[in-house]
Amino acid sequence: MVSLNGLRVGFAFTGSFCMLSKTLEALKLTADCGADITPIMSEITASTDTRFGTADYFKNEMLKITGKNGIISSVREAEPIGPKKLLDVLVIAPCTGNTLTKLALGITDSCVTMAAKAHLRNGRPVVIGVSSNDGLSNTAKNIGLLMNYKNIFIVPYRQDDCEKKPTSVVSDMELIPETILSAKSGVQLQPLILT
């Protein structure tokens, strides 16, 4: 287990609902590594109940794991991340193709994209755990763009289900702590594409 003792980590969930339970496990793993975590949820994730669980369930689990009193879930709440230099690293996981595209194009219209913009202005790393059904088609170009941006690091990923969903990719969320540690040193964790 890597040591993230004292590292201030923002951990943002977006709407890849089928990956939220697995990402909760990664959140716990990151906390167990000693990170001081600030929970962040996209507005959609914070307000949508699905067959994978209710919004309240995921909020409560995030709060239990992080020990924090609240979750950043609005643009207004996310904006101070930059000027107040609240984080050392920002993790966005699961990161949907929609959020990836907005990050690649500089669109800031949600609390997660605002958190990224605010955090990046300080020259600090953003770690992205991809979860996209079109990661090897339409979203592939945006993953490529982000990989060329300074201070953006991708959690290594693989095809999700090459038979039923041939263009779907998902990061190995268990690698989030290692990717954080690597990103803090300015290095992309390798191999990036897993078998």
Confidence of residue 119 (pLDDT cuts 50, 70, 90): very high
What confidence score (pLDDT) does residue 195 get?
Answer: 87
115: nearest Cα among 97, 136, 95, 142: 95
Alpha helices by DSSP H, listed for 41-175, are 43-47, 55-66, 75-78, 97-105, 111-120, 140-147
149: nearest Cα among 106, 181, 115, 91: 106
Average pLDDT of the residues in 15-24: 93
Reported as a single tens digit per residue, the pLDDT across 88-103 is 999 999 999 999 999 9
What confidence score (pLDDT) does residue 12 get?
Answer: 98
Average pLDDT of the residues in 139-156: 96
| Phi, psi angles (nearest 5°) of residue 177 | -60, -40
Q: Tokens for 38, please give them.
A: 């600030």
DSSP code per residue over 174-191: GGHHHHHHHHHTT---S-
Tell me the pairing of strands 157-161 and 165-171.
antiparallel
Q: Is the pLDDT of residue 77 over 90?
A: yes
Token pair 């991809």: residue: 130
* Domain ranges, ordered by start, for the chain: 8-184
Q: Is the pLDDT of residue 1 over 90?
A: no
Q: Distance between alpha carbon 46 and the CA centroid of its chain, in Å?
A: 15
| CATH of region 8-184 | 3.40.50.1950
